[in-house]
């Protein structure tokens, strides 16, 4: 089997790039080919501006001294707010809203500190600490300047001067000529958390599915960016996006492809007792994971809007739903460690086998949840989550709940 490295440009490509709330749409066509499951990557260049005017405008790029960055656990995933997968034969397979928060939940539960230093993590802009995530999104000096060499016969002073110039270009970026030399945008290569990248079984026959449309909606700058100097004037431009994947000649057969998927919902708690009730568009649900953030911090441009915070003074968490035998289930939890442990179990049962309680704690996150122990059709019932808190401040300091329903799709 000979693999073909394929690349697709956006059908709505913009020479100046994309920014807040804009959608980038790719269409994969390849009659007579099979796309290798879990091989899709999104590559792009990124310019982050301290003063953002417009896409293609006279934007002032951030410098190393500027305290503006991204969530270090997910890197450039922070710039994607939604991901949609559609096939010609089956229609829309998956729509992940709150994509960047989903990425943070998965990363927090499944990545150890050592994994942030791997090449795959670095390519996505992930870093082991918050400070390093500032530098990951900054422009860099062109390779010609970084790789410059002193001429033959150069004096020691000339070698030192060239070395100083390279350090200034690459690291310091002070407000002089060295700062303006950082003109090359940061580059990233992401493996999106979409169903086509979380699959088992056969590869995807493009002859059977027809075209595959992959759309990414970009996040608001105030959600993607964070830092002490991040304000409403900051922004970003995502340039030169391309979608890459592996393929090979179709063998004329299409075996089962089982894909893990996510459906996200959001609610706001502003009282000591809060009830979330929803009909979830997921026929084969295996569990649910919940994350929280203070609403004021979620809207503060300086704060991490994707943080996985604790729910204030949570005394009781209860799940109410029916199984496939129409048996009504009430699952109350009062032990805080159990709440987290069951959330980790839900992720592990949904294909994220690296998720552990220790990694959640090491990454300073909080997730709660429940594994259903089997696949449940949530389209024919209302799923409820009830939270009871003793905090007296929820009326004045509401908390956002982000529910992440886990399940399985079959292609």
Alpha-carbon span 113 to 74, nearest angstrom: 13
Q: Is the pTM of this model over 0.85?
A: yes
* Cβ atoms < 10 Å from Cβ of 196: 25
Residue 182 has a pLDDT of 60
Coil, helix or strand at residue 321:
strand
Q: DSSP readout, 239-253?
A: EEEEEEEEEEE--S-
Q: How far apart are the first and last CA of the chain?
A: 22
Burial class (CB in 10 A: 0-12, 13-18, 19+), 267: middle
- The pLDDT of residue 326: 77
Q: Which two tokens stand for residue 145?
A: 């300047």
pLDDT tens track, the chain, 411 positions? 689 999 999 999 999 999 999 999 999 998 889 999 999 999 999 999 999 999 999 999 998 889 999 999 999 999 999 999 999 999 999 999 999 999 999 999 999 989 999 999 999 999 999 889 998 999 876 654 555 566 777 787 877 776 666 555 554 444 444 444 567 899 999 999 999 999 999 999 999 999 999 999 999 999 999 999 999 999 999 999 999 999 999 988 889 999 999 999 999 999 999 999 999 999 999 999 999 999 999 999 999 999 999 999 999 999 999 887 778 889 999 999 999 999 999 999 998 989 999 999 999 999 999 999 999 999 989 999 999 999 999 999 999 999 999 999 998
pLDDT reported for residue 142: 64
Q: Which of 280, 117, 301 is nearest to 225 (CA)?
A: 301
pLDDT 10s digits, 298-328: 999 999 999 999 999 999 999 999 887 778 8
CA dist 226 to 49, 148, 234, 293, Å? 12, 34, 10, 15
Q: What is the pLDDT of residues 385-400, one digit of tens each?
A: 999 999 999 999 999 9
pLDDT of residue 147: 54
Q: What is the pLDDT of residue 176?
A: 45
Structure tokens at 390: 């003793």
pLDDT tens readout for residues 155-194: 878 777 766 665 555 544 444 444 445 678 999 999 999 9
């Amino acid at each position: 089997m000979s693999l073909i490295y394929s690349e697709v440009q956006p059908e709505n490509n913009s020479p100046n790039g994309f920014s807040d709330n804009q959608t980038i749409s790719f269409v994969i066509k390849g009659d007579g080919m099979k796309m290798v499951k879990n091989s899709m990557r999104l590559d792009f260049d990124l310019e982050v501006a301290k003063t953002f005017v417009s896409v293609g405008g006279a934007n002032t790029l951030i410098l190393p001294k500027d305290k503006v960055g991204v969530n270090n656990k997910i890197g450039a995933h922070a710039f994607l707010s939604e991901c949609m997968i559609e096939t010609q034969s089956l229609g829309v397979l998956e729509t992940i809203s709150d994509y960047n928060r989903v990425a943070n939940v998965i990363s927090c539960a499944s990545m150890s500190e050592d994994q942030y230093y791997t090449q795959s993590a670095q390519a996505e802009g992930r870093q082991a600490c918050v400070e390093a995530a500032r530098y990951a999104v900054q422009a860099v000096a062109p390779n010609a300047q970084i790789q410059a060499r002193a001429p033959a016969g150069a004096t020691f002073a000339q070698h030192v001067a060239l070395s100083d110039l390279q350090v200034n270009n690459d690291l310091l970026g002070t407000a002089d000529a060295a700062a303006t030399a950082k003109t090359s945008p940061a580059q990233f290569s992401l493996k999106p958390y979409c169903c086509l990248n979380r699959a088992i079984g056969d590869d995807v026959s493009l002859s059977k599915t027809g075209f595959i449309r992959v759309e990414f909606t970009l996040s608001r700058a105030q959600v993607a960016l964070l830092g002490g100097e991040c304000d409403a004037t900051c922004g970003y431009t995502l340039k030169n996006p391309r979608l890459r994947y592996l393929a090979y000649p179709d063998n004329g057969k299409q075996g089962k492809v089982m894909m893990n998927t996510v459906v996200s919902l959001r609610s706001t708690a502003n009282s000591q007792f809060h009830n979330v009730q929803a009909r979830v568009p997921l026929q084969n649900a295996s569990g649910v994971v919940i994350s929280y953030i203070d609403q004021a911090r979620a809207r503060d441009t300086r704060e991490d809007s994707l943080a996985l915070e604790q729910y204030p003074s949570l005394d009781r968490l209860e799940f109410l739903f029916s199984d496939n035998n129409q048996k009504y289930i009430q699952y109350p939890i009062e032990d805080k460690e159990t709440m987290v442990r069951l959330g980790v179990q839900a992720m592990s049962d949904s294909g994220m086998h690296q998720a552990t309680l220790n990694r959640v704690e090491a990454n300073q996150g909080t997730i709660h949840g429940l594994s259903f122990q089997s696949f449940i059709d949530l389209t024919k019932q209302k799923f409820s989550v009830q939270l009871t808190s003793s905090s007296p401040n929820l009326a004045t300091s509401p908390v956002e709940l982000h529910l992440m329903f886990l399940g399985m799709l079959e292609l």
